[in-house]
A and B are shown apart, each in its own frame.
Chain A
Amino acid sequence: MPIEFKKNRAVFRGLVGVAEAELLLETLQKKSSTRIDLAACDHLHTANLQVLMAARPAIACWPKNPELRSWLEDALKLPASATAAQE
């Protein structure tokens, strides 16, 4: 399972595919306090990325992969409104 849903934490591992997005969205809809652990994540499908960008959950761990981290930091660190306003 590329995303493991723990009590209050979603742990991403390896390649997270498009199929995971549905469940991720559901989880975040139900429980907005879920923290995201991306440490072991190598890649996540666009569908997951946009769910994270829409939900803005707290990030418990950033990816170890520095390149992915910079992408995700850019997308997830700024407040949602700022991303849209930048355009």
Chain B
Amino acid sequence: MTDASSRNPLLDQFLVEAHELLEGISHKLMELERLPEDPGLINELFRMVHTLKGNSGLFTFPEMTRVLHAGEDLLGKVRDGDLKYSPPLADRLLDAMDFVGLLNAEIERTQSIDASRAIDSARLAESLRAMMPAEATSVFSSSADAVPPLSRVPASMPPLNSVPEEQRLEAFRRAGEGEKVHWITYQPEPECFFQGDDPFHRARNTPGVLWGRALAAQPLPPLAAFDTYSCALKFHMLSVAGHAELAEYFRYVPDQVEVVAVDPLWLTLAEIGTQNSAAPGHSEIAAVRFAVPQPLGLTEGAVELARLLTVQRQILALDDQPAWLPGRLKAVAAVLGNCARAAGNSDDSPHLVAALATALDRASGQPLLDWLDAQSCFGFCTLPPLKMTENRPDEAVVTKAPAEDGVKFGRRAEDNQTGPRALKVDQAKVDRLMNLIGELIVEKNALPYLAHRAESQYGVRELSREIRSQYSVINRIADEMQDAIMQVRMMAVSTIFQRFPRLVRDTSRKLGKEVQLVLEGEQTEADKNIIESLADPLIHILRNSLDHGLETPDVRRAAGKTEVGTLTIRAAQQADRVLIEIMDDGKGIDPAVIKQKAYEKGLIDEAALERIDDREAVNLIFAAGFSTADVISDLSGRGVGMDVVRSAVEKLNGTVAVESEKGKGTSIRISLPLSMAVTQVMIVESDGQLFGVPMDNVVETVRVARNAVRSIKHSRTAVLRGRIVPLKALNDLLRITANPLTNADDELAILVVQAGSEILGLIVDGFQETIGVIQKPLPGLLSGLSIWSGSALMGDGSVLMILNIREIL
């Protein structure tokens, strides 16, 4: 129906999750059959059904939610020990879950659920509830029969005589034009007002409604004992809308609604009934109508009857011999019987039964045809007088709801499922691809070395050139391949942003604040791992902003701001990094307060208290154990939060910083790599060895004359761009005894690195190029060496050790 790109990503996620949950649920259900006493299993199962129900509630899938809700209730009873888990119960639950799976597939196909499912949904929910201990079932779902309520066959013909003449005639006319007339009985639940329901409103707006009335479901109690909040009414409506449309309209309350297709003939039959109980004036109209020699309605009714009989004749005249012939004959006989009764001749039914028996015996329609020919009452020009009293149409006449061709229960849900549009691949497989392409990229880097050797060692220039041209092709393909594989892992930040509007709304309401959320750059993409691990930190930050940052409307007004605070979340891609900025226009952070709190909590000493500037002070909120909130709310203020944010972001090789202006607002900036797979490292040389330094840490490379390095106490420093930068020799840090080398101009090579807010100049022997490598963690015993963040393979096959700058500082 629609292509994948235009679909709501939230819905996509729901479908994937629902799929997984359903799989888990059926697995658990079956496991539970083996171990019915396991409380862990039932808890797990309950949780999964609950989650799925909750998820489905986010969308308008009442059919799905209803079944899941019933399932959840049932499992709740099992969990609480009120009900024993049994195979029949498992069957029902599995049936229900198959149905949910079916709906899921349908949503996947069409993004919606066909309204006809409401009936099945109600029936399943009812059958689930029927399993519950007696007291738990509600009044409206206790009936044992599994007939779908929406199409339940009434015991008698609907009281059409209560419909005023004009509307009934109108209905009759519309039926004559080929429209279906339906009689609707809508009995709302007594407690429906509490669900925000207005049954009268729903009744009034019924599609195609010609007439309707409200009446007391039971005799209304005396006014003194009247309960306003319990719905005591029910509604009758006559509608010319199709069954599907009605089912769609009443999809939220299918168990409270009964829809009966009205045979056009009934509309005329009801005529006689009105004689007794009609409102004043109706009998006159009726009299007028009878005075007309050929009442319009009767002719049409007769035509209808004639058409029906012709069809029956045609059916009987068929001379094929299908396996279902007996059923067909019975059906025809039933129709004929009803026609006869409708036409006022019900005395001949024994003959009809006999004719049917003969027909079945001979496996031929002829006996029934003979019977039909013998009937005088089907003379079409003169219709016999109508007799209301006997006209209790047989149940078979009532047109069954067209939902019959819907779900057949017992059929496995898979039969109908289409293959999911997106391929679900285990992440490990994608990771393997990623590793392989990483190796390929490294390996292809060996080709230039080879070309070099071909020329310098063997002196074959031609070959060298060919190798190089081959290399450029392989290089291009490998790069594209890497890009493609990265794309597989890319997700838009909108997948996590989507949760925020609701979070902000709920939280701000709880806090009595008015907040407008602005989301920007939702299409920015980054690696799946990064996006996923970003969700929690962002939620922390949002809560903090809402709780501590933004003020209540009163305070804002007093401060001369707009009452509604603005919270902006902006994502953008900058080179190979994703920047996410969370800005609020709240009260900002007071550096003095932060410093004081940090000092009180022992996070900084007195000297630091004096030394650090405002910018550094506000960043203290990321220190572990820091909290300024005086009261612990359920939102924030437990002293965890911002340091968790920091460590989460740093784990992703990202950085987080806060800027704040008191009274104006706060902005928190998170910078993350697009992907964690390929790390850019700068190669530096020291004592003949090569080391890698992640580019994220590199600030600059400079050459400083040896005599420009000053010693302050025992540490060496240099002044760079007006800043004092402490220097350390990489050789010293690695316990290499050699001294750093200088170049011809007696200058030291200094690599200025940064981790967090600290800066250090590393004295090395020389700089080499920057390369992209796939960083591998150190295995075994080596993993304990925290000075290395990992190792990587270089193009010539050598191993490059990568320094962990944070550890060196």
Contacts and interface: CB of A to CB of B under 8 A. Distances in A.
Interface of A: 18, 21-22, 25, 28-29, 32, 43-47, 49-51, 53-55, 67-68, 70-71, 74-75, 78, 80, 83-84, 86-87
Contact of A83 (B204, B216, B226): B216
A50 B231 contact: yes
A18 B223 contact: no
Given A25-B223, A28-B223, A45-B198, A84 B229 contact: no
Given A29-B224, A87-B215, A45 B201 contact: yes
A86 B277 contact: yes
Nearest to A45: B198
B233 interface: yes
Contacts, number: 87
A49 to B, nearest CB: 5
B223 A71 contact: no
A86 B215 CA distance: 9
Contacts of A71: 200, 204, 212-214
Contact of B220 (A28, A29, A54): A54
Contacts of A70: 211
Interface in B191-238: 193, 198-201, 204, 211-216, 219-224, 226, 228-229, 231-233
14 contacts: A18-B198, A25-B226, A28-B223, A29-B223, A29-B224, A46-B188, A46-B193, A46-B233, A49-B214, A49-B233, A50-B214, A54-B226, A86-B162, A86-B215
Contacts of A54: 216, 220-223, 226, 232
Contacts of A18: 193, 198, 229
B257 to A, nearest CB: 15
Given A25-B228, A51-B228, A54-B223, A46 B215 contact: no
B167 to A, nearest CB: 9
A83 B213 CA distance: 10
Contact of A44 (B162, B200, B223, B228): B200
Contacts of A47: 193, 228-229, 231
A50 B201 CA distance: 13
A83 B235 CA distance: 12
A68 B198 CA distance: 15
Interface residues of B, number: 29
B233 A53 contact: yes
Contacts of A80: 220
B98 to A, nearest CB: 37
List 10 tightest A-B contacts by C-beta distance, closest first. Answer: A46-B200, A54-B220, A74-B213, A21-B228, A75-B214, A84-B219, A46-B199, A45-B198, A83-B215, A25-B228
A75 B211 CA distance: 12
Given A68-B204, A71-B213, A50 B232 contact: yes
Contacts of B279: 78
A25 B279 CA distance: 28
Nearest to A80: B220
A19 to B, nearest CB: 10
B327 interface: no
B661 to A, nearest CB: 45
A84 B214 contact: no
Interface string B79-115: 0000000000000000000000000000000000000
Contact of B228 (A22, A32, A68, A86): A22
Nearest to B219: A84
Contacts of B214: 46, 49-50, 53, 71, 74-75
B159 interface: yes
A22 B279 CA distance: 32
A73 to B, nearest CB: 9
Contacts of B229: 18, 21, 47
Residue in A22, A67, A87 with the greatest tally of chain B CB atoms within 10 Å: A87
Given A25-B223, A54-B221, A75-B214, A45 B200 contact: yes
Contacts of A32: 223
Interface string B687-699: 0000000000000
Given A50-B231, A71-B213, 4 more contacts: A21-B228, A29-B226, A50-B216, A54-B223
Contacts of A87: 159, 215
A8 B591 CA distance: 66
Given A29-B223, A86-B277, A53 B204 contact: no
A25 to B, nearest CB: 5
Contacts of A84: 215-216, 219-220
Contacts of B223: 25, 28-29, 32, 54-55
A46 B231 contact: yes
Contacts of A49: 200, 214, 233
Contacts of B188: 46
Nearest to B209: A67
Given A50-B233, A74-B213, A67 B204 contact: yes
A71 B223 CA distance: 22
Nearest to A23: B228
A45 B212 CA distance: 16
Contacts of A86: 159, 162, 215, 277
Given A53-B220, A74-B213, A46 B198 contact: yes
Contacts of A51: 226, 228
A29 B300 CA distance: 52
B568 to A, nearest CB: 37
Nearest to A65: B204
Given A28-B223, A71-B214, A43 B233 contact: no
Contacts of B233: 46, 49-50, 53
Interface in B268-298: 277, 279
B202 to A, nearest CB: 9
A84 B218 CA distance: 7
A83 B216 CA distance: 7
A22 B193 CA distance: 13
A21 to B, nearest CB: 4
B187 to A, nearest CB: 12
A28 to B, nearest CB: 7
Given A22-B228, A47-B229, A86-B159, A75 B215 contact: yes
B443 to A, nearest CB: 73
